[in-house]
Amino acid sequence: MPRAKGERRLEILKALAQMLEAPKWERITTAALAEKLDVSEAALYRHFASKAQMYEGLIEFIETSVFSVANRITQDEVDGRKQCDKLAEMLLAFAEKNPGMTRVLTGAALVGEHERLQVRMNQFFDRFEATLKQALRVGGDEGAADKAGALLRYVIGALHQFEKSGFSKKPTEGFNSQRRYLLA
């Protein structure tokens, strides 16, 4: 029974994300991705016009996943500092559960790919920082922009450390004891 086009696209994206999880990561080629899926490269290009479009699919997954949960956090939690705390922890946990996506978040998987992909990841972090700032402003926190920036940089650093450690240094590790210093 033939697969629906959407199913095959999802299968390709899942395989790409799995390949990005390899601790000794190397640049992924469409030939290697096709081999993993046991299809031809032409079959990949029936679903995506380019490898950049495949990465865009992963970025869309990240954006949808993170900001749908972020919206729930900001709606459910009234305290701005607690919102920020939960938002940071959520992004760290997302990366921990999705190591391949961490390589997209840090930009490591995007090196050598189309520059618009890195621009889009930069926009993701700008939007996440704006969400943190808004939470702090709602809470009447002075220095919201500085605090949001510091918290975002902590998160980005934890993501880089996770990726550089071959996914052994968990990004949530130590967050419970360090969180009190982040929004002081």
Domain of 158, CATH number, reads 1.10.357.10
For 144, the domain range is 51-182
Convert the pLDDT of each residue in 36-65 to its tens digit: 999 999 999 999 999 999 999 999 999 999
Three-state SS at 29: coil
Give me the number of domains the chain comprises: 1
| Rounded CA separation 73/177 (Å) | 21
User: What pTM did the predictor assign?
Assistant: 0.92
The pLDDT value given to residue 1: 47
Convert the pLDDT of each residue in 83-130 to its tens digit: 999 999 999 999 999 999 999 999 999 998 999 999 999 999 999 999
Q: How far apart are the first and last CA of the chain?
A: 58
The pLDDT value given to residue 180: 84
> Taking 90 as the threshold, does the pLDDT of residue 6 lie above it?
no
108 in a domain, yes or no?
A: yes
For residues 110 and 1, the model is more confident at 110
| Rounded CA separation 147/67 (Å) | 20
Best CA proximity match to 66, nearest among 25, 108, 97: 97
5 in a domain, yes or no?
A: no
Do residues 137 and 144 touch, judged by C-beta distance below 8 A? yes
